[in-house]
Structure 1
């Protein structure tokens, strides 16, 4: 029988925090050695985070351990952002095959090649992937993974954290800040992860937390990430028309952060909430009539604008957790949630939404009691059986 545990500890002595978090996470395992350990560390200094990650792996003595440095971590029913902390997730997984891997990217004549990915076995169920986006082509790897890995689901996140501090405000993630943990070693480049196969029952869930506004449209002219025309009308003018017809509340949300949903299934009879892959709108130019999106959108694709707020994101995650729970009991879960879904979206800890702890509380309430993970700068997870790199989402790997 599988057992799961999670722990989170804070404090100026990060090595002691690592030991405390490991003790809390392994206590429910009844003295058994963890088959799989997740270690997630938040600290402004990358090397201090690396030392804490190594200490946690050493103390736990797990068969396989993986994890990363991040700007915030999740465990023990709460999320902690921009504060020194260690989160640990531990599991005994009888008869489950756990295969660790490390990926590195290299330039070749054909572009960029990725090496190190083991060939999935027929009974592999899922791969967890943690990547440094500054040294690993995560977007391209995820896009090609359905073909390259034979449809194997990928879930995880981009592991970034600030380097140093700034007098002008919070430091932003930058090259050199990544620390990836794998079986006692710390890596500063590439990606790491684990393949899970054999007698393993898992579910992957992705909550995008957006609500559609305006009509569904066809892209009638585009170039790269620029939309030139929507439904036969200049894209900027069409957007103006949609905004004009919105309620005051939705117009305010759109002006605060507008997104474009690209239909996942072009052949569906209708497209509503949850049927789109969400991408950010990064610009709109009245002079050229274009709208710029954070991805390439081809002519002929079905799209619809979306807005996002705390209430919508909360309702979407709660509904997803309830639906996932209907499939049977879950013992533990790994959670990879966006850095934009903590205090930025849900407010301070004592707010009505629960701040950085919102998502982990929702997963514990609706799905699994033992949850840990980290705040990512991009979340990986399958939607409609295809792997995608997302933003502003919560990706969950649940173990039955």
Structure 2
């Protein structure tokens, strides 16, 4: 199969970066375009879409703004940068949809017109606005409307308005593209953390505050798991130790990583960045470069075993806490993907939350390959 065409560039100003990307795609063919831009290009996103549509003749585009964006073997931050890719897919194999803001049900008529009243798309690639408090429910609702119960993607990241692309720029909701099973897709997720202790049962909690784990004071259990050195100085756990919420029924041991947001040493309480319930499992995990590289390698090996040849193209959505912040400032995360899977067309961005299956994740990398 013919690889997708892609181009990426960074420059001192957004127009120069756009000129380079437009030149790289000028004679390319494709029915669906992916475009990711860094935050300095955000105010000019409509102009970017219009120019790419003009030079390629491709009507349909999806993508997002990111504090950082990426392409094969390279990451771009802070400076004006654009990465774009054209996918040569059957016109009836996908549908782009505008931002869904309140109720995933508004998409039902569009899907029925496309696939018939009993048809469902196979999988969706979506981008969302992190400012919408309904985003998590919208992700779940949209995933339920696919045959596989699967979405991939992430939340846009920007210093002001986090905009997404679905044929035009927008914000406030979740937008993207649904694919039928005529499109060959493989995807997987890499965790950025590794467990440091066993699963514990939450035996008492109040909203996001852990009171008792395994019928013991929560902070006592936490201190045992992290070890004596860290327990003596809890100020050192920030950005290193996290709460992990195992996903019930996951056959790959997936878990949601949530920040620790406070401790009460007198009452031995622990606050985390999510609501929890009595009877739910929890564990603690650490984030470091070595374990992130190991898990990324595991994920890439799993994907490689499912491929019959080089991918035609790919989209990578990684957490803002990864990339240069975790792997190093020489595009090491993207170089690892290239080194282990080959030099195939890839574009993507660094997100304010990653979407995999029907949930929002953090500190993860989601790689989606077109075969």
How far did residue 256 of structure 1 move?
4.0
Does the CA-based 8 Å contact 1:39-1:68 persist in structure 2?
A: yes
2:365 paired with 1:381 = no
RMSD: 2.7
- The superposition leaves residues 252-275 of structure 1 with CA deviations (integer Å, 9 ceiling, x where unpaired) of 98454221222223698xxxx944
What TM-score, normalized by structure 1, do the two folds share? Answer: 0.81
- The superposition leaves residues 235-255 of structure 1 with CA deviations (integer Å, 9 ceiling, x where unpaired) of 11211222235799xx99845
Q: 2:139 aligns with which of 128, 138, 142?
A: 142
What TM-score, normalized by structure 2, do the two folds share? Answer: 0.87
Does the CA-based 8 Å contact 2:139-2:174 persist in structure 1?
A: no
How far did residue 196 of structure 1 move?
0.9
- The superposition leaves residues 66-107 of structure 1 with CA deviations (integer Å, 9 ceiling, x where unpaired) of 12222111114201111110111222124761200013324x
Match of 1:130 in 2: 127
- The superposition leaves residues 148-172 of structure 1 with CA deviations (integer Å, 9 ceiling, x where unpaired) of 5454311111112113xxxxxxxxx
* Pairing 1:1-400 to 2, within 5 Å after superposition: 1-24=1-24, 26=25, 31=27, 33-44=29-40, 46-94=42-90, 97-106=93-102, 115-116=106-107, 118-119=110-111, 121=115, 122=119, 124-135=121-132, 137-149=134-146, 151-163=148-160, 177-183=161-167, 185-244=168-227, 254-265=237-248, 274-328=253-307, 329=309, 330-349=311-330, 357-367=331-341, 369-382=344-357, 387-400=358-371
* Ranges in structure 2 where 5+ consecutive residues have no aligned partner: none
Structure 1 residues 267 and 160: CA distance shift in structure 2, 3 A: closer
Distance 2:230 2:132 in 1: 43
Distance 2:181 2:249 in 1: 35
How far did residue 323 of structure 1 move?
1.2
The alignment covers a number of residue pairs equal to: 360
Does the CA-based 8 Å contact 1:39-1:89 persist in structure 2?
A: yes
* Ranges in structure 1 where 5+ consecutive residues have no aligned partner: 107-111, 164-176, 350-356
- The superposition leaves residues 36-71 of structure 1 with CA deviations (integer Å, 9 ceiling, x where unpaired) of 111111143632344234322332221421122221
Distance 1:114 1:15 in 2: 39
Distance 2:127 2:291 in 1: 27
- The superposition leaves residues 131-154 of structure 1 with CA deviations (integer Å, 9 ceiling, x where unpaired) of 112246211222344445454311
SS of 1:162's partner is coil
Does the CA-based 8 Å contact 2:120-2:145 persist in structure 1?
A: no
Distance 2:138 2:156 in 1: 15
Does the CA-based 8 Å contact 1:235-1:289 persist in structure 2?
A: yes
Distance 1:366 1:123 in 2: 34
Structure 1 residues 316 and 159: CA distance shift in structure 2, 3 A: same
SS of 1:124's partner is coil
